[in-house]
Structure 1
């Protein structure tokens, strides 16, 4: 049975970005993010947790971002928009029809 997603809920404009590296003037590597597409998506918060490490408290907020199906979206990419960044952890087609992708993300993670 196909999952129904109201396309009217895909109204948040996000930049889909992919990481690349470039040599700096000192011979090191600099990570750059390049926009590969502008997409419209639905963002849903699904969990939040506090992480402690290196004498610092960090907040990890997980979101589910649903968008129209697009080839090439993978873990390690990110969404950016409205002053927020969402690192993509997993990507899947919820009903295997090639209509939508659901990405589980971590906010604030590049």
Structure 2
């Protein structure tokens, strides 16, 4: 594992509810953890859904092993947002994790 390959910052976010200054509930995303990652684009395709066309990009994020991440979170990479599709502990060695994320544009 070459540390120089982990050259991008990504942030994991969790959906949560809070309240605004007047006490009304608001939904939003809260940052949980920011890590260094290696990023590889896997596929890109167009999805036809409800009479519209959407572009869908699948991306692989490799990070150092960490705890506290699950599929209910999302990844923020710059201004781009990825829904987490799967999280894999590479070779079950607790050294690196591969996270598959889908960006819908």
- Indicate the TM-score class for this superposition, using the shorter chain for normalisation: 0.7 to 0.9
Structure having the higher strand fraction is: 2
**Which structure 1 residue ranges, 5 or more long, are not aligned?**
none
Task: Please give the TM-score of this superposition, normalised by the length of structure 1.
Answer: 0.83
| Counterpart contact for 1:84–1:108, Cα < 8 Å | no
The aligned counterpart of 1:43 is: 39
- The answer on 1:31 being equivalent to 2:27 is yes
Aligned length: 104
Deviations 1:22-51 (A, max 9, x none): 4677x7x64311001111101100011111
**Which structure 2 residue ranges, 5 or more long, are not aligned?**
none
Map 1:61-80 to 2 at 5 A: 61-80=57-76
- After the TM superposition, list the runs of 4 or more consecutive aligned residues in structure 1 that deviate by more than 2 angstroms: 21-25
CA RMSD of aligned residues (A): 2.1
